[in-house]
Structures are given as C-alpha cells and as structure tokens.
Structure 1
Amino acid sequence: MLRHAAELAIRRPRTVITVWALVLVVGLGLGGAVFGRLGGLGANVPGSESQVTADRLNKLDPNPDTIDGLVTSTTAGRVITADTGLRSRVAAAVADLRAIPGVAQVPDPYQTPGATGDGQVVAIPVTFAGGISSDAEDVASRAAQDRLHAIATPDFQVRVGGGPLVGDALNQTAQSDAGQAEMISLPIVLLLLVVVFGGLLAASLPLVLALCGVASTLLVLYGFSFATDLSVYSVQITTMLGLGLGVDYALLMVTRFKQERAATPDIADCVRRTVSAAGRTVFFSGLTVAVSLVGLVVYPAPFLRSMGLAATAVVAVDMLAAVTLLPALLAKFGHRIKPASARRSEGRWFGRFAAGVVRRPVPVLVVIAVGLLTVATPVTALTLTPGDARELPASSESRQVYDLSVAHFPGRSAATPLYVLVQNGAARPDYLAHLRALPGVVDSAQKALPDGSAVLELTPAGTVNGKVATGLVQTIRDERQGASVTGDSAHLVDFRRMLVDRLPYATAVVLLSVFVLLFLFTGSVLIPLKAVLTNLLSIGAALGAMVWVFQQGHFAGLFGSGVKGGLGALDVTVPPLLIAVAFGLSMDYEIFILGRIREARLAGEDARSAVVTGVRHTGRVVTCAAALLMIVFACFMTGGAAPILEFGFGLTLAVLIDATLVRMMLVPAVLALLGEGAWWAPRALRGVHARFGVAEAPEPATEAGTAAAGRLQEV
C-alpha cells in the first residue's frame, strides 16, 4: 500500500499536489462555517436521569432564557441605590425593555428584594418568552443588550451577561483563540524548522502538511456537525492535533529523506526509501494515535464521542497527507533539499547519552519513576466541574457579570438550582415540603404542571460541584419517592458515574488495539506492556501538575487573571480528553524510536546496542518534534478560555515529560534491563507475527540500498 502511494507520488506529483491544494482551499473556505454550528455540551449524558428529566421539563414547562444587566459606579465602593438620576434612567430602560417583542418579564430592580445587593450594584434581569424561535430570541436579546448598555454614563458602567450569552462568549473566545494561536505558532514553527533543516524549502514542507491538516480538520468538523453536536472547544483541540501531528510526521519524513539523499543522488529512489522506512513508521504511529482516541467513542457523552470521532479523523488525514502529499512534494522539489550532514546523521550526542543510560539502567529507572509518581500525587485531589462563566477570560463581559454578582450579592449561592420533578406532586404536599426543608437548601420555589406533577427549584449552598449540591442530588435519588433531579449538579453527578462505568470498556478498547498494533510492529508482547506503563507515568504527572496549578491555584496567575488563585476544579471534559490525546502522542514517539531500534536489530545488533542506535538516530527528530509540538500547544495558552488553558498546559507538559524523561531515559533503561527478553513472545504469537506482522523487506539492488540496513516490509 505504501509502496503504491510512493510510486503514485513519484509518477504523478502534480496530480497529488493539486488534489491536496483543493482540499486546502475547500477546507479553509467551507470548513470555516463550522464555527456557526458549535455549542456548549458540557457534562450532558444522553439517557441519564438528569438528561431525561431535563428533556421532559423542556416539553412540559420550557424554562425561558434570562440575561442580566448589572449597573455599577465607575467610582469603586460608591453606593448607587440612592442616585435619583440613575433611578430615572433605569426606570426608562425597564419600560423600553418590556416593550421589546419576545421579552416576557423585566422586574423593577428598586421594587425587587435583593436586586441591589450591597447597594453598589443594580441588577436588571431580562427574561424572554418561552416557546419562541431561537432567531426571534436572538433579535430580542440583541435589542435588550443595546438598551441596557444605553443606561451607561461617564459615572455608571453597564455589563450584560448570563444565560445564553455565556455560551455565545465561549464560542467567540474559541474562534479568536484558535486564530490567534495559529497566527503566533506558525511563524515560530517555521523559523525553528529553518534552523533544524538549514533551508527554507525543507522547513516549509512540514508547515504545508500542518496547514492541510488544519484545513482538513475544519472540513471534518463541519461534516460531523450535521451528524452530532460539537463543543465550542472542538476546533481548538483538533486544530492542535492537526498542526502538531502534521509537523511531527513531516519532520520525521523530511529528516529521513535528507539522510537518504546523503546515500544516493537519485530523488525517486530517496522517496521510495523514505516512504518504505519513515512512511511506515508514520503509518503505524497514525494508527496507534487514532485507536488511542477511538476510546473516547465508548463514552455516550456527546462531547467526548464527537471529539473522539473528529480527532481520529484528523489524525487519519494527517497520516494520509504524510504518505501521499509529502512524497509528491519531495519528488517534485526534493532535488533542491540539501542532504543531511554526516554529523547530524550520526547523532553522536544522543548516542553517548543513551549509552550512559544503558550502562546504569537501575538508578535511572528508580529516579525517573519516583519523580513522576511524586508529581502525579495531586491527581488524588482531582475535582470536576461542569463549567460556568468562570471559564471565560477576566476581560469577558459575561465573566465580569459573574464576578460582580459574587462580589456584591454575598448571600447569593454560587450553585445553580436543582430542578426536581415530582410525579403526582400536587397531591403530595408533605413530600414537597420535605424536599424544600432538606439540609443545604438555601432557597426554593414550587410550580404545578399541567399533568399533575410538580417541579421544585431548589438552590443549594456552595458551588455547583460542591458536596452540598451533589449530596442533595444523591439524597433525593436515594429516597426513591418518585422524584427525578436535573440541573448542572445532577448532570455532573451523572457524568462522573458515566466516566466510572465506561472507563473499563474505553481502557480495554485502547489497550487491546495498542497491544495488537505494537505487537505487529515489534513482534514482542513485553514492549507493548512497557509502552502502556511508561505512558501512564507521564500522563499521570501531567494531570497531577494540571490539578496543582489550575485547581489548587499554584502559579495559576501566570496564565492570566481569569484563573488567578485557581478555579477549585477542572472542567469535567478536560481530564478524559487529555488522557486520550496524551496517550496517543506518547505512542507517537514510542513508535518513532522503536522503528529505528527494530531496524538496528534486523541489521544484526544485539538488544542493548540496538537501543543506543535507535536513540542515536531518532533522538534529534523526537526532540525537535516535541519542541515544535510544545510550541503549538503553548500558543493555545495565549487565549483565555479556562478549559483550553488547562488542556494546553497539560499537553505541553505531557509532551515535555514524554520526549525527555520517558523516551530518552526511562524507555532505554527498561529495554536495557530486559535485554533480549524485551523482544520475547510465545511461540504461538511468533507464528502470528511471522504471518501478519511487519517483517524485513527486500530493497532495490542499489549501492545505497545495500548500505541501508533493516528495511521494513510493505504494510
């Protein structure tokens, strides 16, 4: 298959390049429409009690959206409730707001208890009519926002947020953050690639592949948006992967091409050999990363499932571009790329470093393992939250409304209400009174529904993810009195349970798939096991550091004032997504190194010498690829959305740990300790590998082919 792809690229490079150019244009053009089809999915789990109850309540008694306008003084600490000029402006605004078509209710804040908080703020909630179309509500919302902002004077400032405006702000932040990260990362990546390759043409090839990955990402997401809901963060996360893996794969391929150029002047032969060796590594790497992400599809949550599908597709597109577009570009322009110098090809520094690790594997293994386990310790305190306006940057108007509400309404709970649907509730006043009197309920409201049931709105003390709110959910469910609960805290409880219930299945899918692929690649049963354990160490350390920074607040201010002091919890979608993506990227570098180690073994080297040779030849590639990938991920931390900050930080750290401590030290140490035993497999499985696995391949009878040892068979 790969050989056919190489031959097509050599014979018809213009055709292959033209096809990918069309993909790039269509992807950037049509794929941009995906931003208008994104939404906030959060912790919703189809079929769960919270989701079923929410769907039923939406049919029986649609809960209309409400936005909040907050008026504050431009002078800090000033009490504004007695200002007659402001009072008249607010009264006029309330009258105008009530006249807007689609607006159902606007209470007079001066006649509503608690609407002025500590006296330094005036809150004006605007509730829209239930049952109107989303377009009509959008028109009414824009008109209401304009009228609220018109209250402002040089002495008074107005901020509008809450309700659907939080989701809109998250969507806008996702778009601006993705564009900003790409604008920052691409020039930096290009500059570093020029330094790495010593020429602009060779450096531009990984960038071309990365851009095709981004365009394909947008196109894939746009297609998925018609089949499933997509989160506002899906573009950023999959763009990270599209850019990062595109650069990774191209770096490996171009580096190998430059090395082959040093052995033979024939460009076509160099392309064939590059695809046969590095292309095969990319192929297996892409498959391994893809199956690592497929584990997300096991979860029924729309966010995780859609991210698993989209990210898997993106990896597949990057892999396809690496083994088709890149060979075509090399066949067309490869004569202008300088061969690798002898010094760079030999990788002497990495060889000496690996030899040192191989000589002292036990101390290296103990120190690295203990260090990573220590860094991973904060994972035991991991807390999840379904997210709210605090996920927005401090500069966001919706975030400012949230912060002002917390600061000036000290008696108001930070938790969102729980909605309890009670069957035949109208005939059960005692039970309704019992629910309203449960410990931890700070406010309540009751409403009868047309079908005879009743809905209670219970506001718990504390936060959405706090013990009081989640405990109330569990208490009501444990009583089994015909009541079902929904609301953000209930969704969170069900999401946590879903993660626990589906984790064994997701783990089994990923580990079995990875084991099979690595076994076919290496013929060993111990190397796949080693790969899983070492990957878990690096992922655990990255997740622990993420908890320490963003949840507990250590140095969180370095990532913006919006997360200063910590958020008290991580977004519920970040840890499972981080684990899946980081695991896949770890396997990416694992296969890079194993591919070269296996070539050395096929050339006749013993187990320990092969480890040194493998690290010597791939150390520079893995280090450069990791550095470029870290730049891409780090640039996504220049935005302000908390989940992307958490995800970008976790992935940056995971790549750093994996490419240095794990791949350059821990893996060589483990392989050195195992020796020849690392490549052991039972006799029955050896037969399976002999028939279906990767084996040595015949090469064309050229001088360069004879000199290049350990080529791999066509997939």
Structure 2
Amino acid sequence: MLNPSPSGPGPTTRLGRLGGLVARHPRWWLLAWVVVAVTCFAVAVGGATGETLFERLHSGAPTVDSEASRAQDVIAESSPTLRTLTMQVSGARLGDPDVVAAGVERTRALAKVPGVKAVRSPLLAPGGPTDPSVAPLLEGGSPGAGGFVTVVDFEPDLDGEAQDTAEAAAEKALLAVPDAMDATGRLGSSDKVITAITSTVERDLLRGEGIALPLTFLVMVFVFGGFVAAGMPIIGAVVAIGGGLLSLFGFSHAVELDATVVNIVTLLGLGLSIDYGLLTVSRFREELAHRAHDVPTREEVAHATERTVATAGRTVLFSGLTVAIALAGLLTFEASIMRAIGVAGVSIVLVAMVVAITLVPALCVIGAKRLSRKAIERPSDVGLFSRLAHVVQRRPVVVIAAVVVVLVTLALPTLSMKLTSSGTELLPKGADQRVFFEDLARDYPALTAPEVTVVAASSDRSAVTAWADGFRTAPGVESVTVQPLGGGHQRVDLRVAGGPTSDQAQELVTAVRDSPTPFETLTTGQAAGQIDFLDSMSARAPYAVGLVVLGTFVLLFLMTGSVVVPVKALLLNLISLGAALGVVVWIFQDGHLEGLLRFSSVGAVESMVPFLVLAFGFGLSMDYEVFLLSRIVEFHRHGAGNDRAVSLGLQRTGRIITSAALLIVIVFAGFVAGDILIIKQMGLALVAAVAIDATLVRMLLVPATMTLLGRWNWWAPAPLRRLHDRFGITE
C-alpha cells in the first residue's frame, strides 16, 4: 500500500510549525476564538454598538453610474423625492355625506401632525370624492367602488428619529380615517417594503441555519461515527459565521448593503467552514492511525497535528485562495452591491481558512483521545471509489462523451435565459407589502411610477411634446404625458402595458434612446436601470473572467507543476456551471416546481444571480478540485504512476468529497426553504452546482480526462518547470 504520510519527524514547513504551536497550546487557541466569536455576534447581531447589522440593510434594484442614474439625479434636483406613507381604504360609503364628513375631519387632522408636509386625499378636494381632479385617487376612477387612497408626504429634512416619530404619528392618524368611516385601511410605503424584506431575510437566515446545522451535524455523526468529531466542523462554522456577520456590519458603514447579501455571504461561510472542518478532522484521524499506542501520547498527537495542518491545511489554503480569487472577480464590476458581496465574501473565506487551520486542529488536540478510538486504522487503497476509478479508466472516452451530453442537455435552457430586477416580487406571494403594491398598481395605476421616464434638456415644451407623441403608437404604450421639470428640462412619462421590466418596457427604452432628437435626453425607469446594469456587467465581465482564470491557473500550477491540469479544471468547471444555470432557468424562469419550492415565477431570473452563481459556484467547484488534486499530486510525487495516483487520490478523497458535497447541499437547501426569491434562486443554483460537480465532474469526468491525458497531465514547458522547482508550493 502506498502511504504518503511519513511516520518520522514532523514537517518543517510554516504550516507544520503552526500545527505544532496549536498542539502545544490548544486551550489558549480555543479561548481566543470563543472571545472572537462572542464579540462578533454581540456587535453584529446583539446590537452592542447601538444598532444591529439587520437595521443597516437596504433593498432595491442593483444600480450603476449610468444614463438612468443621471436622469434620476436631474429629477431629484428639480423635485426632491419625499418619503411618503400611503393608505388604501376599501368598503367606504363615499355616497353618504355623513360618512364622508367624518373622514374629512380625521383627514384634515393629518396635516397637523409634526413632520407632515402635505396630504393628498379625494376627501380634501373642493368638490369631495366626486371632484374629477381626484379620479386617480379613487378605485376605478369613481367613488362608486368605495375605495380611495390617501398619501402623506413628509418634510424632506427630517433626521432619523424625527422621521420615525412623524411616521408613527401619521400612521395612527391615518388609520383613524377608515375607523371613522366604518371601512378598512391598509398602509404601505417603500420603507415598509425594505423592512419586510430585511425582516424576511433575518427570518430566512435563522430558518436556513436552523435547518442546516442540525442536519449537517447528524450527517457528520454518521460520517465520523461519533458526536465529538461531528461537532468540531460545526463549531468552526458557527465561529466563521460570526466573523462574516461582523465583516458585513463593518462594510455596511462604507457602502449600502442589500438585505440579500447577508444570506448569500453567510451561506458561503457556513458551507466552506463545514467543508474545511470535515477535511481537517478526517486528516487528523488518518494521521492518528499511524500511532504506536492504543492511547496516543502527547508526542503522537503533536505529530498528527503538525502533519494535519501541513497537509490538510495546505489544501485548505489552496482551496480558500481559489474561492477568494473567484469572489475577487466581483470587485472588477461597477455595481456597488457586487463589490460589497465580493469583499464580504473574500473576508468570510479568509475567516473560514484561519478557523480550519487553528481552531479546528485545537479542538482535535483537545478531543484526541476520543478521536483516536474511531481513527482510520489503515487507509485502504481499494474500495468503492477506487473501483469506480478503474471502471472509468477502462472506458474514458465513453464516460467523457456520456457526461458531456448530460451536462450540455442541462445547460441548454440558459440559451433562453431572461433577467429581471424584482421589487416587491422578492417577497413571497401573499406577503402584506407585496399584496399592497400589487393592489395599488391594479386599482390606482396613475399612482405607480411610469415604466419609462425621459428627461429632455429643453425649455420648449411643444417641441418635446411633438417628439414624445411619436411613441404613442409604439407597441404596448398606453399613455404619454409631458410636464415641465424645471431648470430648462421637460419630463416625459410613458406608461406601458407590461410590468416595469417587461419586454415592452425594455424595447421602448431602446427605441427612445435610439430616436434622433434636437435636444439631449436621459432615459430612466426600472427597465432602463436594468439595461444599464447588465451593460455595465457585460463590459466588466472580461476583466473579472481574466482575473479569475489567471489567478486560478497560477495557483493550480504552483500546486501541481502542470499547465494541463489547470486548463482542464477551468474547462470542466465552466461546463458544470452552465448546467447549474440551466437548472435555475428551467425551474424559476419556466415556472417548474412552483408548488414544491413555494414560489411564484416572474418569468425571469434575478439579474445578479448568474454573476453570483459563476463566482460562488466556480469557487466551490475549485474547492473540490483542490481536495482531489492535492491527494493525486501527493501520491504522484511519492512515485505512483498517473493512473495509480488518480485511483488512489479518488479513493482517499471520494468519501470526503461526497460527504462534503452532501453537507453543503444540505446547507444551501436550507436557504431554498426561505421566502426571498433571489435567495431561493441562489440556494438552488449552488445546490445544483455542488451536486453536479461532486458527482458527474469529480467522480467521472476528472478521472476519465486524466486517464485519457496520461503523462500529459503533468506537462509544462521547461521554463515553467524550472519556475515551479523554485517557487512551487509543496509540503
């Protein structure tokens, strides 16, 4: 049996020395990490500084500096956006003078609330609800339906506490109106939508972790055959989550963080920490198997710890760096939310790496006696995974062809992928604020924002009107209005039959921007913002891809000394990620499994999801690639031939990779059970990516391609071989 784990003196690498330090003072390392974890959770979640991370979150469509944002700036300069509170009233007898009089009295009291700038209500019109000027504020445009809207505008210069006080008083006064009219009232605002999303994110986070942590613990009890070993990766994951939440809390003071960032980044940290913890504990138990005593001595425990940190720690560092490089690609994008996810993701990856090479080994040392009872006595070179490797190696071409056909078939739906940036649709169907704004759009369409708005730099209203009239016959256009904006500008609002990001709205944006005009125009709206966001992302994507490809290639070259293996790894990851995105499109865009997964399809995929899946999915795929390659390279350097090294590497890591994949699927599946649509999409995409990668790619494609390539796997030009001999990272 080929055994690359020597039984002599411990390694002298830096990681080996770190392992020795951990072995000598395990309780001090544990105490230090307990203090760090408690501090992280106290600050980020407990509100030790006066506010929590969740209180600092925002929500909205991803934006970039573009034509749409510049148009919004011009509009804001001319007519600053006021914070508002809207009430929909239903069941009011607007034909009854006494009822109307009671409502008028209570509505007039609203204007006296400190901080309220204006009140818009059909009850305050000179002619009352029958006044034609207030038809847009009446359900169906007439008082007969018994529904109306009241909108409260707040003063623009209120600070946070004054705004909260004013809103609370206004809510109380507003709800008194339907009470006096024996009707029903519902409140809504953009702030309430954000609150609903952030509170749902917080609930989803607790639910996801509440599902994931117990299930992963039970799986690891089965994998390790004991509670002590199973609990170690879980403890490391909890600490890493605390570090990730603290990093997000810090970033929230520098940039606006979208509410969904928390779940996305925490999900990654939880999955990686469990993966790394599983690898570290497994290697520690394997190293203990070489002991000479039934109960390991302190020297044997120290040696096992040094070997574990030197070998598994090296794998963790390579894996963590590849994941960090994949996430660093997000920093090349212009959108602040992508950069925030990139920085926060890199931070939590670093935390997970440090936890895996310090805290988890310290826990292993403390629990060494218990772990030694279940230690792998002699790792076998023959087993399920080596037999699988031999089957694949007998027919590598057939295996490659069959797997590629499956992956390409799964990837085909990506060809029809449509992207959108949802607003209230992020909330689950039936959520109060989602229902409120859906009803508002249906019953009071004039109060909703127009799908397309154009800012025309002209003081000649007639010229702008003549130009705008050309779009009245455009597909889907329902109305065109022109009004002065101030500062020598005119505002053109175009309403479209479809939704804010519908095909009609996007086509109209393109038509408006392509239309020749004698004056400068800026087009904005949700569709325009989405087009600008995707254009910006597409323009920066080559730089992101270049950074990730180059960084990954260099790292894998330093680990393997080959230029073929890194290229092969990049190509295989690309195919598997395409398949994962295809699954997302088939489910969420095409509307399959709506009942099972508890979502309502918006006919598209959230615009950030493909970019995040490529970054996160690539990192996780490389995670398993490094797990497998590190052992193959280890055996190859100890004299095993190519096919033998592949078989041994798969046998030694197959159980770990399969277990790690199962655990991370459980983690991500916990977030599929959440209510926020983008989190569902991300969770399911990463479940698909991990499942595909750990089975079809790692177990079949990698051994098949490495068998087919043979000695060419280890080829590199002579100059690069000399470079690797000098700078390559080995044990």
Instruction: State the TM-score, normalized to the length of structure 2.
Output: 0.89
**How far off its partner does 1:547 sit?**
1.1
Q: Distance in 1 between matches of 2:367 and 2:690?
A: 32
Q: How do 1:82-101 residues align onto structure 2 when only pairs under 5 Å count?
A: 91=104, 94-101=107-114
Q: Would the aligned equivalents of 2:628 and 2:650 in 1 still touch at CA under 8 Å?
A: yes
Q: Would the aligned equivalents of 2:323 and 2:619 in 1 still touch at CA under 8 Å?
A: yes
**How far off its partner does 1:152 sit?**
6.5
Aligned position for 1:709? none
Q: Would the aligned equivalents of 2:103 and 2:181 in 1 still touch at CA under 8 Å?
A: no
Aligned position for 2:504? 468
1:304 aligned to 2:322? no
Q: Distance in 2 between matches of 1:156 and 1:174?
A: 33
Equivalent residue of 1:113, what SS? helix
**How far off its partner does 1:551 sit?**
1.3
Q: How do 1:480-499 residues align onto structure 2 when only pairs under 5 Å count?
A: 481-499=519-537
How big is each residue's C-alpha offset from its partner over 1:191-247, in whole Å with a ceiling of 9 and x where there is no partner?
221111111111111011101110000111111112222111111111101111000
Give the alignment's Cα RMSD to 1 decimal.
2.5
Q: Would the aligned equivalents of 1:523 and 1:689 in 2 still touch at CA under 8 Å?
A: yes
Q: Would the aligned equivalents of 1:62 and 1:130 in 2 still touch at CA under 8 Å?
A: no
Q: Which amino acid aligns with 1:227?
A: A
Q: How do 1:696-715 residues align onto structure 2 when only pairs under 5 Å count?
A: 713=731
**How far off its partner does 1:144 sit?**
3.6
Aligned position for 2:687? 652
Q: Match for 1:141 among 138, 158, 167?
A: 167
Aligned position for 2:582? 544
Judged with a 3 Å threshold, the aligned counterparts in structure 2 of structure 1 residues 610 and 38 are, in CA distance, closer, same or farther, namely same
Q: Distance in 2 between matches of 1:471 and 1:69?
A: 33
Q: Distance in 1 between matches of 2:497 and 2:303?
A: 71
**How far off its partner does 1:330 sit?**
1.8
Q: Match for 2:643 among 594, 604, 608?
A: 608
**How far off its partner does 1:536 sit?**
1.3
**How far off its partner does 1:271 sit?**
0.5
Q: Distance in 1 between matches of 2:290 and 2:147?
A: 76
Q: Would the aligned equivalents of 1:37 and 1:225 in 2 still touch at CA under 8 Å?
A: yes
1:190 aligned to 2:223? no
Q: Distance in 1 between matches of 2:715 and 2:413?
A: 36
1:397 aligned to 2:420? no
* Consecutive unaligned residues in structure 2, runs of 5 or more: 1-13, 46-51, 124-128
How big is each residue's C-alpha offset from its partner over 1:596-635, in whole Å with a ceiling of 9 and x where there is no partner?
1111111211111111111111111011111111111111
Aligned position for 1:257? 284
How big is each residue's C-alpha offset from its partner over 1:509-531, in whole Å with a ceiling of 9 and x where there is no partner?
00000000011111111111111
Q: Which amino acid aligns with 1:573?
A: M
Q: Which amino acid aligns with 2:74?
A: R
Q: Match for 2:491 among 432, 448, 455?
A: 455
**How far off its partner does 1:123 sit?**
4.0
Aligned position for 2:245? 218
Q: Which amino acid aligns with 2:454?
A: V
Q: Distance in 1 between matches of 2:382 and 2:56?
A: 48
1:373 aligned to 2:408? yes
Aligned position for 2:228? 201
Q: Distance in 1 between matches of 2:701 and 2:182?
A: 62
Judged with a 3 Å threshold, the aligned counterparts in structure 2 of structure 1 residues 497 and 327 are, in CA distance, closer, same or farther, namely same
Q: How do 1:231-380 residues align onto structure 2 when only pairs under 5 Å count?
A: 231-264=258-291, 265=296, 266-337=300-371, 338-342=373-377, 348-380=383-415
Mean alpha-carbon deviation: is it higher for 125-134 or for 469-478?
125-134
Equivalent residue of 2:139, what SS? coil
Q: Distance in 2 between matches of 1:27 and 1:154?
A: 51
**How far off its partner does 1:165 sit?**
2.1
Judged with a 3 Å threshold, the aligned counterparts in structure 2 of structure 1 residues 187 and 57 are, in CA distance, closer, same or farther, namely same
1:108 aligned to 2:141? no
**How far off its partner does 1:414 sit?**
8.4
Q: Distance in 2 between matches of 1:398 and 1:186?
A: 31
Q: Would the aligned equivalents of 2:464 and 2:490 in 1 still touch at CA under 8 Å?
A: no
Q: Would the aligned equivalents of 2:41 and 2:242 in 1 still touch at CA under 8 Å?
A: yes
**How far off its partner does 1:349 sit?**
1.1
1:586 aligned to 2:621? yes
**How far off its partner does 1:37 sit?**
1.4
1:39 aligned to 2:79? no
Q: Which amino acid aligns with 1:143?
A: A
**How far off its partner does 1:494 sit?**
0.5
**How far off its partner does 1:676 sit?**
1.3
Q: Distance in 1 between matches of 2:208 and 2:174?
A: 33
1:128 aligned to 2:153? yes
Q: Would the aligned equivalents of 2:290 and 2:377 in 1 still touch at CA under 8 Å?
A: no
How big is each residue's C-alpha offset from its partner over 1:236-289, in whole Å with a ceiling of 9 and x where there is no partner?
111101111000000001011111111123111110111111111001000000
Aligned position for 2:465? 432
Aligned position for 2:31? 18
Judged with a 3 Å threshold, the aligned counterparts in structure 2 of structure 1 residues 20 and 416 are, in CA distance, closer, same or farther, namely farther
Q: Which amino acid aligns with 1:474?
A: T
Equivalent residue of 2:255, what SS? coil
How big is each residue's C-alpha offset from its partner over 1:561-620, in whole Å with a ceiling of 9 and x where there is no partner?
xx33x1111221121111100000000000000011111111211111111111111111
* Consecutive unaligned residues in structure 1, runs of 5 or more: 74-78, 696-712
Equivalent residue of 1:300, what SS? coil
Judged with a 3 Å threshold, the aligned counterparts in structure 2 of structure 1 residues 484 and 16 are, in CA distance, closer, same or farther, namely same
Q: Would the aligned equivalents of 2:89 and 2:186 in 1 still touch at CA under 8 Å?
A: yes
Aligned position for 1:117? 140
Q: Distance in 2 between matches of 1:535 and 1:286?
A: 16
1:689 aligned to 2:724? yes
Q: Distance in 2 between matches of 1:519 and 1:175?
A: 41
Judged with a 3 Å threshold, the aligned counterparts in structure 2 of structure 1 residues 44 and 514 are, in CA distance, closer, same or farther, namely same
Count of residues in Structure 1 that have an aligned counterpart in Structure 2: 685
How big is each residue's C-alpha offset from its partner over 1:650-705, in whole Å with a ceiling of 9 and x where there is no partner?
1111111111111111111111111111111111111111111123xxxxxxxxxx
**How far off its partner does 1:376 sit?**
1.0
**How far off its partner does 1:137 sit?**
3.5
Q: Would the aligned equivalents of 1:589 and 1:659 in 2 still touch at CA under 8 Å?
A: yes
Q: Distance in 1 between matches of 2:96 and 2:605?
A: 42
Aligned position for 1:525? 563
1:558 aligned to 2:614? no
Equivalent residue of 1:117, what SS? helix
Q: Would the aligned equivalents of 2:205 and 2:263 in 1 still touch at CA under 8 Å?
A: yes
Q: Distance in 1 between matches of 2:550 and 2:414?
A: 25
Aligned position for 2:5? none
Judged with a 3 Å threshold, the aligned counterparts in structure 2 of structure 1 residues 116 and 354 are, in CA distance, closer, same or farther, namely same
Q: Would the aligned equivalents of 2:233 and 2:277 in 1 still touch at CA under 8 Å?
A: yes
Judged with a 3 Å threshold, the aligned counterparts in structure 2 of structure 1 residues 192 and 82 are, in CA distance, closer, same or farther, namely farther
Q: Would the aligned equivalents of 1:166 and 1:398 in 2 still touch at CA under 8 Å?
A: yes
Equivalent residue of 1:133, what SS? coil
1:55 aligned to 2:73? yes
Q: Distance in 2 between matches of 1:549 and 1:120?
A: 39
Judged with a 3 Å threshold, the aligned counterparts in structure 2 of structure 1 residues 579 and 80 are, in CA distance, closer, same or farther, namely farther
